[in-house]
């Protein structure tokens, strides 16, 4: 991972946090150094660089590589977000931000661009069977009548039963990577999905964090 940040007060804690999460990261403080660095797995890019504007770095990185780019900046206006995304950024995070949210976004963009992390087409968890190819789900042999979002939500949770999915990750992957709407929509869909599954305990709520599917394998 490449961290492009000229502010030591931000870069220091960020690098330590990434190391605690198991990421190997290199930090550079200029746009020139970012362009000269070997192509990493992910780029965390500050826009306010001392030598080259961060938007230009984003554009040039995207021209030369499909590497996931997350812009991290104090520029929070909608126009700034639009420019960054149109120039090729995969995500846009405004300072100050929560480190847990950053990690969730890193994982999300990595999954989107890494085909080797794709989930299997058919997942079986106890009496539940989810087929992504046909977009059908069955429980106890009975097919479930799910909406598009309900199926996507179920498929995400069923990919790794027992794994905790944060609310932020679910919204990014099932709704939109740049979701800014109310999170209540997730609760509404989750309640509907639980009713259709017939067993509300199959999807567990971790208060203040997110959801996970009970592991019945």
Query: Which residue, 203, 4, 193, is CA-closest to 89?
Result: 4
Q: Is the pLDDT of residue 50 over 70?
A: yes
Q: What are the tens digits of pLDDT across the range 52-83?
A: 999 999 999 988 888 899 999 888 788 888 88
Does the model's pTM come out above 0.75? no
DSSP labels, 46-92: -S--SSS-HHHHHHHHHHH----EEEEES--SHHHHHHHHHTT-SEE
Residue with tokens 């979002």: 149
pLDDT > 70 fraction of the chain, expressed in percent and rounded? 92
Rounded Cα–Cα distance for residues 52 and 72 (Å): 15
Q: What are the tens digits of pLDDT across the range 150-202?
A: 998 999 999 888 989 888 888 877 876 555 555 678 888 999 999 999 998 99
CA distances in angstroms from 51 to 30, 32, 47, 70, 118, listed in the order given: 6, 7, 11, 19, 39
Which CATH number does the domain 2-115 belong to among 3.40.50.2300, 3.40.630.10, 3.40.50.300, 3.30.2130.10? 3.40.50.2300
Rounded Cα–Cα distance for residues 22 and 101 (Å): 16
Query: Which residue, 65, 76, 77, 53, is CA-closest to 4?
Result: 53
Looking at the chain, the domain(s) classified CATH 1.10.10.10 span 120-213
**Pairing relationship of beta strands 69-73 and 91-94 according to DSSP bridges:** parallel
Q: Which fold has domain 120-213?
A: Arc Repressor Mutant, subunit A (1.10.10)
Q: Is the pLDDT of residue 210 over 80?
A: yes
Looking at the chain, the domain(s) classified CATH 3.40.50.2300 span 2-115
Rounded Cα–Cα distance for residues 112 and 131 (Å): 19
CA distances in angstroms from 198 to 32, 140, 154, listed in the order given: 57, 10, 13
Rounded Cα–Cα distance for residues 206 and 56 (Å): 41
Mean pLDDT, the chain, integer:
86
Average pLDDT over residues 138-148: 92
Report CA Rg, the chain: 19
């Amino acid at each position: 991972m490449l961290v492009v940040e000229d502010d030591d007060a931000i870069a220091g804690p960020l690098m330590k946090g990434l190391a605690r999460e198991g990421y190997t990261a290199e930090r550079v403080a200029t746009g020139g150094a970012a362009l000269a660095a070997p192509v990493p797995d992910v780029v965390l890019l500050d826009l306010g660089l001392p030598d080259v504007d961060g938007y230009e770095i984003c554009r040039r990185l995207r021209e030369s590589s499909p590497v996931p780019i997350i812009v991290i900046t104090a520029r929070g206006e909608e126009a700034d977000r639009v420019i960054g995304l149109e120039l090729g950024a995969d995500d846009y995070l405004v300072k100050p931000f929560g480190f847990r949210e950053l990690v969730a976004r890193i994982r999300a963009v990595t999954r989107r661009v890494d085909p080797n992390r794709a989930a299997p087409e058919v997942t079986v968890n106890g009496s539940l069977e989810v087929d992504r190819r046909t977009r059908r789900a069955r429980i106890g042999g009975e097919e479930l009548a799910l909406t598009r979002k309900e199926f996507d939500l179920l498929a995400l949770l069923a990919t790794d039963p027992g794994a905790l999915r944060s609310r932020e990750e679910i919204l990014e992957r099932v709704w939109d990577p740049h979701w800014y709407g109310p999170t209540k929509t997730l609760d509404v869909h989750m309640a509907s999905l639980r009713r259709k599954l017939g067993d509300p305990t199959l999807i567990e709520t971790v208060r203040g964090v997110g959801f996970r599917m009970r592991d019945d394998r």
